[in-house]
Amino acid sequence: MRVAIATDELTGVASALPEGLRRRGHVPILHGAYVGDERHDWAWASEAAARDVREGRADQAVVACWTGTGASIAANKVPGVRAALCVDAQTASGARRWNDANVLALSLRLTSQAGLDEILDAWFESPASSDASDRDNVAHLDALEHAGTGG
């Protein structure tokens, strides 16, 4: 799977993230502080990764900043993106399963290496639910998004 990743600084687990994805068989697409020719700020870096998902260059994305909140907010501004800030494996699994989240947001401050491994395993091992009520909720999010853009 192609996974866009973005961070505003190479601190905490940010340095371990590309290799963590590769070990799981994914192909990282790097943004922000991972590359020299892009703006590193969390809003721009997270937007770039989210746009990769929106435009089909990536299947999913992982975005990170100090708290994870800004990265999550920025990614969620891109139409079609459902970013979830996850600080543990249970939240990551639920975000994938019940919310069909396609962007994982991480806190560089709170996520340990062990936590990162657990979160990534839970995220990539949890398929989106096929339950009718879960699908209805996701469809409602899509409808809200389109109502807000006039389209």
Continuous H helices in the chain:
17-23, 42-54, 69-76, 89-99, 113-125, 132-149
Q: Rounded to whole angstroms, how far apart are CA atoms 40 and 58? A: 19
Work out the angle between the directed axes of helices 89-99 and 113-125 (0-180°, nearest 10). 20
Q: Rounded to whole angstroms, how far apart are CA atoms 45 and 22? A: 20
Which residue of the set 6, 63, 65, 75 is catalytic? 65
Q: Does 86 participate in catalysis according to the annotation?
A: no
Q: Rounded to whole angstroms, how far apart are CA atoms 71 and 84? A: 10
Provide the edge-to-edge strand list for the sheet that holds 2-7: 27-32, 2-7, 60-65, 103-107, 83-85
**Which sequence positions are flagged as catalytic?**
65
